[in-house]
Amino acid sequence: VGRGGGRGGRGAAPPAGPPPTPGFPRGYDVAVSLDGTSWTTVASGEGAPLTIASFAPVEAKFVRITQTADAPDAPAWVVQNLRLFRAP
C-alpha cells in the first residue's frame, strides 16, 4: 500500500488471536485510491474490539481508514494489525 503500482485486493482482516486493547472506533469507513487524491469507500460500519472489514476486489495503491463515530470517554484506538490480501 502506497508502494509501487496498484494491485487487486479482496479485503482486510487482523490475524487470528485475542483482540487488541478495548479501544475501537464506534464507526469507520475504509476507502481506496490509485492516486491518493480520488477516494472510493469500499466498506463502512460499526466497530467492535475485533473488526473485520471485507469488500469486493478492487485496484488500489492506497488504503485509508477513517473513524466516523466515537463514544464519550472511550479509550484511544489504534490499528494494531492490518492485512491486505491480493485477489486470487
The answer as to whether 57 is a domain residue is yes
In which domain, by residue range, is 41 found?
1-10+29-70
Tell me, yes or no, whether 45 lies in a domain: yes
**pLDDT: which is higher, 78 or 37:** 37
pLDDT digits (tens, 9 = 90+) for 20-45: 456 788 889 999 999 999 999 999 99
Domain presence at residue 33: yes
Contact 8, 23 (CB under 8 A): no
Flag whether 81 is in a domain. no
Residue 24 domain flag: no
Domain count for the chain, please give it. Answer: 1
Adjacent-strand bridge partners of 41:
31
Lowest mean pLDDT among 2-11, 19-28, 76-85: 2-11
